[in-house]
Structure 1
């Protein structure tokens, strides 16, 4: 099979690209500002290729392509546009948005000075195959690479905000203390700002607007794939896996007014979905202006090759797929057995990787929670919403909370194992602390008059919106954050925590901070709540010591008792009674001992707890059988 991209050979470098509709293509070599165009020959199966002699690793290049320019028919060919190789594994600088990148062909704007150049690189020696360093039931820790260490005082200045910083001993010690099983890195592939941001003086710092799928953003990984590989190895040595958040639903080329950077200029008709019977209208199931056609063989190959690249070159343990229904979207809607999803599950390199779906997009029938095929795990927004409703005090059935604690069998009941990824807060939305401090979003800094971001956050403010000096309100918020954290850590199955939520990180009410590459979104390590962080570490120790809590197997009737605080079985009518504010989950799986009890008290008063049989003690606490107001109590049966 032909290798696409740039492949060093004994005498030079072989270049190959695919385009069904292009009539001509060139590889453009750059020596400083000097460009040399080398024609590529069209061969079988619409592959253009050429070998350029006497150049090798370190050479800088791009592609140009010619063909019809007719956007109303889905064609955007323009040889004035320098295009990034979709298979580039490294680029020489970040993408910077410029209006000239979107100039129509008739304006004859040469974009070479505006574009990063791809760099020829030899592949690293292949890694020995190894099972993923993560199993379902662990704690996934979601990290924005740039914001995570930008302000960390222990990280050398040159490494702050980079992938290399994640391997620093101080970071690894912190991850181990709070029980992290795997880091989930928000997008690290090279991206471009949305076109409205430069005029506002803002930049995209989350990375969900990719151009290059394999090339890492130079701001995050100045050392390229080797930097990622070394960091993954260091984390693996500490027993921590690495999952990449990948974006295969759209590219940063946006809508008809967007820039031509790569796939659009190579073959937009093939790579992008269009409105039925109207090739002048790009489908927008991603909400970003375009949607990749993941049912097209060329797109499927690019996605699969990208995933294999990160596994074989960097040892990546798995992937979280942004707006994942796009990957299975056919002309008639989402299909859990679409070709790309089946190919992932059958691929010999990818079949054992951790695969996580964000199971919704904004297209027709885009909400697909519970419908991805095993072994996909799925972000569970119903868990998030039911837990928030419970602790906010909504008149909401306690049975819904119980279902979420036990693994969401209503959604993942097939197969006997929960595939839920339980989370209460994620990058997209309020931080965990802001859930308890803001009843409304405050995104004014984003320059869109607070119109952006989710409107219904199921949040509360404990009496005052935002910052306050009132010690009672501060204590109430801290207590609520601790209760939310405890609820997450006692939930069965895989759990996810966003970096900084373990110690009360705030974004001052901004629930869409993607464009805040500043101290609004950077984690404040000096100002963190050390007591809350210690409580999180205690929750991690409890979860690690008692696998019955994290086990993703769905519970049977002999595995759990649901009790009132005075030790009675919950009655049928209680499950749907919104006035119920306390419940005890007593786990006694036959192959996991000792028994553990989790007591949840949403009420405003402390309650006495009575548990059946044996002798019970609080986990790492004094011998008190009291569950404080608005808290979660952890209890362990003492062994004879």
Structure 2
């Protein structure tokens, strides 16, 4: 069928079907001509090539009457191929629409994807004339009925939030309670078995590793590996096809709805800092071919090369207005049409950079804070990149929470036994006020974690003293070198009951520390099961049993312990305050909101470099209005010594007594009333007590 193209409109980016035809709009400031290519239903045959007839500003657009929803298409951009000037136009390369909501077909790892001839001595300055269309997926004209607006709901308060970081496939692939046909998919993630587990351990929000369409790196495919984590985005609007189940893209929306019905929010880990096109040696797939000089940050004076603040070869130029618009449109799409409740921004410093560097008042951060659609969603920054001045913990605007790697390291170092680590841990237990208590920020801004996808699992922190990443094929040179881990006597698995007991105790101690800390806690999926990656602390390319959670052999006792910790935190608001504690006297009773003591009840000697045990009393923040302060009090004992010890308890109020509600040495137990003013605690362990009426605790 022959199609005619008319001018259309520039107002909506992407391809939009209006019931009678399709309007196409794509950005390029430097192209000289833009061609729309239409394909057969199987994507194997190009059926038409139409030049977009109009350019309004930097938006190229056209309208094709009679074109149905479901049509496959792509773009070919004409212009200068002048890498030395930052331009890499090559009309022989079929380009993905940056705004496509669906992909059809698969990527094939072939030199035809390159805009240059890799056999030429000129390298990327040469030009390649092979057609890439047979080797790339096609964009899809979506049926507008597939993406109706999602019913918005009130967000769960930050102080009630427990985040669970998970991988769509890794969480479900081996789960015996998930039907085989939907394991590893969005559909499987929404299964009853997964939701029941999340409810059991008190999860209120699932943070999914990247689900934007991404590409397997060529160098990984050459080694028989794959990009498992997904930090290699090529489509910011399209769900990753490899996770589609029987329901297709509708399965993603259905998953979100099931989570919402269960009272659980869905957060996405998003990668707007770089794309899958890599550096000057990478493929031409979309952005590079549409307008390389606009979409990417190029080195000033040497625009052939890319600014690499991300460590992945390129950095997206979010300070460009049209690129910023794309990012904002993407975020709104996932909230309004896919129902997600928030975002964790990978390498957020890179997204917040202007030409002069990181800017907390720059375009992206200003745009996201004023956007009415994004006003109620959760925003989480990974506050670093590898560029100059890239580490920015505590420097994002008040709307953001931030991954607190200083918290992670402090907890690991304390329980490993490092000198001066008790002082560090003391600051982390109170929400890292030194970093976050400024500009009206709240204690929940510190997103606390012990383990995450990047690094050792909780089990491996206690099993390995060094990384074991040989399976990645990089001579064990990849991954973190500073893990602050300890194998407890033997590197790797052990059947020595003394060693295994020590490891389990340390895991419980770290988990107890996490749930007793001010801030927002995050669990790595599988840590509650005792999941090990055999010492691999950079399993980004391991799509196999190394990363898939083994539910059949999971640690049931540890699951119960985590559920107990989550319940304790939920019951006691003093553990999840939004305001910081500074030992200020409370107007309601004249008592300090936090008090530190040694085991004899004396003020703590913070100057002792070997300080290894301490007590802390937590009350409602003095910053809170007196009429809002509760009588909730927690007394926590951190004993790193190998020996048992006696701790002096603070005086109890008349008619009340101290009750042990947490003892990491004993696991899950019934509350235990303490009749005397001293308590014997095991070592090493974490113990928490609350004040209760004696009649109620008898």
Normalising TM by the smaller chain, what interval?
A: over 0.9
Name the CA distance, whole Å, in 1 between partners of 2:547 and 2:578: 32
Name the CA distance, whole Å, in 2 between partners of 1:395 and 1:370: 25
The correspondence for 1:39, drawn from 21, 46, 51, is 51
Name the CA distance, whole Å, in 2 between partners of 1:338 and 1:213: 21
Q: 1:89 to 1:530 in 2, by over 3 A?
A: same
1:494 touches 1:552 (CA, 8 Å); kept in 2? no
Q: 1:313 to 1:141 in 2, by over 3 A?
A: same
- After the TM superposition, which residues 188-337 of structure 1 pair with which residues of structure 2 at under 5 Å, given as runs? 188-222=211-245, 223-337=247-361
Q: CA deviation at 1:145?
A: 1.0
Name the CA distance, whole Å, in 1 between partners of 2:111 and 2:412: 43
Give the equivalent residue in structure 1 for 2:519. 493
Give the equivalent residue in structure 1 for 2:593. 559
Q: CA deviation at 1:399?
A: 2.1
- After the TM superposition, which residues 127-526 of structure 1 pair with which residues of structure 2 at under 5 Å, given as runs? 127-136=150-159, 138-222=161-245, 223-414=247-438, 415=440, 417-418=442-443, 419-526=445-552
The correspondence for 1:606, drawn from 630, 644, 647, is 644
Q: CA deviation at 1:38?
A: 1.7
Name the CA distance, whole Å, in 1 between partners of 2:115 and 2:292: 16
Q: CA deviation at 1:287?
A: 0.3
Name the CA distance, whole Å, in 2 between partners of 1:352 and 1:11: 36
2:398 touches 2:441 (CA, 8 Å); kept in 1? no
Give the equivalent residue in structure 2 for 1:115. 136
The runs of 5 or more residues in structure 1 that have no matched partner are: none
Q: 1:416 to 1:449 in 2, by over 3 A?
A: closer
Q: CA deviation at 1:278?
A: 1.2
1:485 touches 1:502 (CA, 8 Å); kept in 2? no
Name the CA distance, whole Å, in 1 between partners of 2:87 and 2:284: 11
2:352 touches 2:364 (CA, 8 Å); kept in 1? yes
Name the CA distance, whole Å, in 2 between partners of 1:199 and 1:521: 21
Name the CA distance, whole Å, in 2 between partners of 1:309 and 1:483: 41
Partner SS, residue 141 of structure 1: strand
Q: TM-score, normalised by structure 1?
A: 0.97
Instruction: Report how many aligned residue pairs link the two structures.
Output: 637
The runs of 5 or more residues in structure 2 that have no matched partner are: 1-9, 117-125, 584-591, 621-625, 662-669
Give the equivalent residue in structure 2 for 1:638. 692
Partner SS, residue 437 of structure 1: coil
Name the CA distance, whole Å, in 2 between partners of 1:118 and 1:546: 50
Name the CA distance, whole Å, in 1 between partners of 2:181 and 2:133: 29
Name the CA distance, whole Å, in 1 between partners of 2:368 and 2:109: 33
Give the equivalent residue in structure 1 for 2:610. 579
Partner SS, residue 301 of structure 1: helix
Name the CA distance, whole Å, in 1 between partners of 2:618 and 2:224: 53
1:226 touches 1:314 (CA, 8 Å); kept in 2? no
Name the CA distance, whole Å, in 2 between partners of 1:68 and 1:378: 42
RMSD of Structure 2 on Structure 1 (CA): 1.5
The yes-or-no answer on 1:569 pairing with 2:603 is yes
TM-superposition CA deviations, 1:99-153 (whole Å, max 9, x none): 3211417331111111011111133221233322452452111011111111111
Name the CA distance, whole Å, in 2 between partners of 1:518 and 1:103: 33
TM-superposition CA deviations, 1:333-364 (whole Å, max 9, x none): 11000011100000110122111100000001
> Bigger relative contact order, structure 1 or 2, given CA contacts below 8 A and separation 6+?
1
Q: CA deviation at 1:599?
A: 1.2
TM-superposition CA deviations, 1:152-189 (whole Å, max 9, x none): 11101121111222211111111111111100011001
The yes-or-no answer on 1:549 pairing with 2:549 is no
The yes-or-no answer on 1:79 pairing with 2:91 is yes
Give the equivalent residue in structure 2 for 1:533. 559
The yes-or-no answer on 1:62 pairing with 2:83 is no
Which structure: larger Rg? 2
1:594 touches 1:639 (CA, 8 Å); kept in 2? no
1:98 touches 1:114 (CA, 8 Å); kept in 2? yes
Q: CA deviation at 1:567?
A: 2.7
1:601 touches 1:629 (CA, 8 Å); kept in 2? yes
Name the CA distance, whole Å, in 2 between partners of 1:114 and 1:637: 67
Q: CA deviation at 1:55?
A: 2.0
Partner SS, residue 609 of structure 1: strand
Partner SS, residue 540 of structure 2: helix
Q: TM-score, normalised by structure 2?
A: 0.89
Partner SS, residue 599 of structure 1: strand
Name the CA distance, whole Å, in 2 between partners of 1:595 and 1:96: 60
Moved more, 126-135 or 239-248: 126-135
TM-superposition CA deviations, 1:198-248 (whole Å, max 9, x none): 111000110000000110111113445422221111111111111110000
The correspondence for 1:125, drawn from 145, 148, 163, is 148
